[in-house]
Amino acid sequence: MPLAELWRGGLPESAHLGHLVIADAGGIREHWGNPGAIIFPRSSCKMIQALPLLESGAAAAAGLQPRHLALACASHEGAALHVGAVSRWLQDLGLGEADLRCGAHEPRDKAERNRLIRAAEPPCQLHNNCSGKHAGFLTVNRHLGAGPDYGEYDHPLQQAIRQTTAEVAGEELAGWGVDGCSAPNFAFSLQGLARAMARFAVAREGQAGARGDAMARLVQAMIAHPDLVAGEGRACTGLMRAAEGRAAIKVGAEGVFVAILPEQGLGIALKCVDGNARAAEVALSAVLVRLGVIAAGHPLAQKWQDPVQRSWRGIEAGVLRADPALHRPLNQGAGKA
Amino acid sequence: MPLAELWRGGLPESAHLGHLVIADAGGIREHWGNPGAIIFPRSSCKMIQALPLLESGAAAAAGLQPRHLALACASHEGAALHVGAVSRWLQDLGLGEADLRCGAHEPRDKAERNRLIRAAEPPCQLHNNCSGKHAGFLTVNRHLGAGPDYGEYDHPLQQAIRQTTAEVAGEELAGWGVDGCSAPNFAFSLQGLARAMARFAVAREGQAGARGDAMARLVQAMIAHPDLVAGEGRACTGLMRAAEGRAAIKVGAEGVFVAILPEQGLGIALKCVDGNARAAEVALSAVLVRLGVIAAGHPLAQKWQDPVQRSWRGIEAGVLRADPALHRPLNQGAGKA
């Protein structure tokens, strides 16, 4: 089903298809496209991958604070803010950059990127957008006393994540693949991902055991630190700020987005079929506005609300428009799972 | 129709739809998807936009060489090679960077990008990937003695390009929009674009008047200077080198690609519906291999032949695969236009 279209000169130029599910604790509330589509959640499931960090007691033993938990769920920009925080976290564990297994890439943050170029310094693993997740992995791993290659599929940590993922998705996993950061990423249905996000949304501390506590603390940490979850100019950070505490929002590679709405007890998951983030962003924005999570035209969220496309001289050239259907309630109930 | 799929861990992760037409001088020879789809060719039509440069006599009057014509058709990387050549071209015209109307953006070439960052020098309009096209525009414009805002829709140059585009596409134009470089870009059908490329493919100097001469010289210039048409690491340059003189190849923004095959008298045009370049590249590569233009596994073209996807640590994670149907002849004749 269409998620978004790019228009230029009054004509449609490009179009993005996708699937979207809004779930509550009971199952699917609304859907668009195929709720049973098997997807790789990629980084959108970092909150699930962080559950063993809390449930194992590792986070408490290491004295982790909300900022650490936000970083464990982050796909950050590699700004000085993020790199410094992950570096200190590793130091507190008695570990260092070389213990990471995420690989290095140039940071998206321009100030840090330019600093590296001016200093003729190559990017390191701390700059990897997943370095916070991997710092979380290392924290559990030290607690478990397991081997250093914590990213291998057979490693006890990844097996714990596999088990946890199947539990919160409420279904059999369809398989797994290697993510950009070299850790396993488990494939399951989009409705399973939305259902998992709904479980995060209804979790409250002290009400549903260790898992409920862990879920609630991760959501609170993300909402408290939108700047750590992504960075300046990024959709996760901007939309969370515009939501003013009403949503935790997380992107995944290849056009995945999820949102956790604690006030409404809803989880949202969407996948742009062609893997494009721009369509996923505007589609999610449209749904968040419709659900009253973000005010239409909120200055912090305008960048993702049917954004105008401009030429390099700033001339208005077109618009990237969420499918009009996303502004109204979608197919309801039919796909109840 | 599918153009390409991204696979991870043995499962399909993302998929790209699109349209593709192979035309000869008589019309459509093969098609895939909808040959009548209205598209914006974006930068894939720079060869068409350069026809008035030659047909007006402006290129001869300015003493332009094949390297200038290749740059007029280029979406270059903004490497020192490109920036220097465009700068000298403007100087020879008695003009400068400030006469350009393309706007500035950071060059894709990393060496030049890093040089600018180290020198704390902002990118200028010469770095714009379209600066060669705009130098061509300025060359015609000086010849015509028209006003400085050569990129405006109503300017005589853009009206000449509009007329030329309709002629070589062989159809009414569907409209126009503002391109990334602020110049008008005319919308017409994909089959019109393929037909136009077939006209370039069969053009030989001295056989079909000023237009045939102009077409032949532009194709020869592109084939002679693949490095100027895009840059190191880019599909246009790599695929043209691998084609060893058998093809002129040009990308357009939003998932457009064209190829001109002079030996076979064929023009190819394709549009990835979601605007993604990666799918357009692998789909075009598959067709070029099937047509014998590029050798399967050619070392200069491997990057675009079902490329393996790797994690940031270099671990094999998946593959971006052209649709298997593209390796065989497609629907033939049915869409003859």
CA of B309, closest CA in chain A: separation in Å?
A: 9
End-to-end CA distance of chain B: 20
Query: How high does pLDDT run on average in chain B?
Result: 97
| Nearest of B51, B33, B30, B46 to residue B249 by alpha carbon | B46
In the prediction, which pLDDT does B335 show? 46
Q: Which two structure tokens, joined as six digits, stand for A192?
A: 């399973």
pLDDT < 50 regions, chain A = 334-337
- A38 in contact with B, Cβ within 8 Å: yes
Query: Mutation test of the interface with chain A: which of B115, B178, B181, choosing the one with the most A Cβ atoms within 10 A?
Result: B178
- A302 in contact with B, Cβ within 8 Å: no
Dist. CA B103–CA A110, nearest whole Å = 20
* Cβ proximity of B319 and B302 under 8 Å: no
| DSSP-derived secondary structure for B206-263 | TTSHHHHHHHHHHHHHHHH-HHHHS-TT-HHHHHHHHHTTS-EEEEETTTEEEEEETT
N residues, chain A = 337
| DSSP-derived secondary structure for B118-176 | HTT----GGGSTTHHHHHHHHHHHHHHT--S-TTSTTSHHHHHHHHHHHHHHTS---EE
In the prediction, which pLDDT does A333 show? 58
- Asked whether the beta carbons of residue B179 and residue A312 sit closer than 8 angstroms, the reply is no
In the prediction, which pLDDT does B331 show? 86
Cβ count near B114 (within 10 Å): 17
CA of B152, closest CA in chain A: separation in Å?
A: 11
In the prediction, which pLDDT does B208 show? 85
- A188 in contact with B, Cβ within 8 Å: no
- A177 in contact with B, Cβ within 8 Å: yes
Q: Which two structure tokens, joined as six digits, stand for B106?
A: 């950071």
Using alpha carbons, list the distances in angstroms from residue A239 to A20, A258, A286, B162: 18, 12, 11, 42
Residue B169 has pLDDT above 70, yes or no: yes
Q: Which two structure tokens, joined as six digits, stand for B302?
A: 């491997």
Q: What is the CA radius of gyration of chain A?
A: 19
Q: At how many degrees (to 10) do helices B156-169 and B131-144 cross?
A: 110
Contacts of B318 in chain A (CB under 8 A): 177-178
Dist. CA B187–CA B191, nearest whole Å = 12
| Nearest of B9, B16, B95, B90 to residue B282 by alpha carbon | B16
Q: Which fold has domain B2-327?
A: Beta-lactamase (3.40.710)
In the prediction, which pLDDT does A337 show? 40
CA B12 to chain centre: 30
Residue ranges of alpha helices (H) inside A184-276 are: 190-202, 209-224, 226-229, 235-243
- Asked whether the beta carbons of residue B103 and residue A182 sit closer than 8 angstroms, the reply is no
* Cβ proximity of B315 and A152 under 8 Å: no
Q: ∠ CA(B324), CA(B284), CA(A322), 5° rounding? A: 90
ipTM: 0.96
Dist. CA B136–CA A209, nearest whole Å = 70
- A80 in contact with B, Cβ within 8 Å: no
Residue B230 has pLDDT above 90, yes or no: yes
* Domain ranges for chain A: 2-327
Dist. CA B292–CA B304, nearest whole Å = 16
B309 has which bridge partners?
B318
Using alpha carbons, list the distances in angstroms from residue B297 to B79, B91, B140, B316, B326: 28, 42, 42, 18, 16
In the prediction, which pLDDT does A336 show? 43
Percent of chain B exceeding pLDDT 70 equals 99
Nearest to A11 among B17, B118, B175 (CB): B175
CA A317 to chain centre: 30
A187 has which bridge partners?
A175
In the prediction, which pLDDT does B337 show? 40
Q: ∠ CA(A309), CA(B72), CA(B269), 5° rounding? A: 65
- Asked whether the beta carbons of residue A182 and residue B276 sit closer than 8 angstroms, the reply is no
Backbone angles phi, psi at A19, to 5 degrees: -125, 145
Using alpha carbons, list the distances in angstroms from residue B193 to B8, B166, B267, B308: 34, 10, 8, 31
Backbone angles phi, psi at A4, to 5 degrees: -160, 155
Burial (CB count within 10 angstroms: exposed 0-12, middle 13-18, buried 19+), residue B31:
buried
Cβ count near B91 (within 10 Å): 11
pTM beyond 0.90, yes or no: yes
SS3 B172: coil
Burial (CB count within 10 angstroms: exposed 0-12, middle 13-18, buried 19+), residue B162:
middle
Residue of B nearest to A312 (CA): B103
Residue of A nearest to B152 (CA): A315
DSSP category for residue B171: S
Dist. CA A286–CA A30, nearest whole Å = 14
Work out the widest C-alpha separation in chain A, in whole angstroms.
Answer: 61
Q: ∠ CA(B70), CA(B76), CA(B77), 5° rounding? A: 150
B321 has which bridge partners?
B5
Backbone angles phi, psi at A232, to 5 degrees: -60, 130
Dist. CA A191–CA A20, nearest whole Å = 8
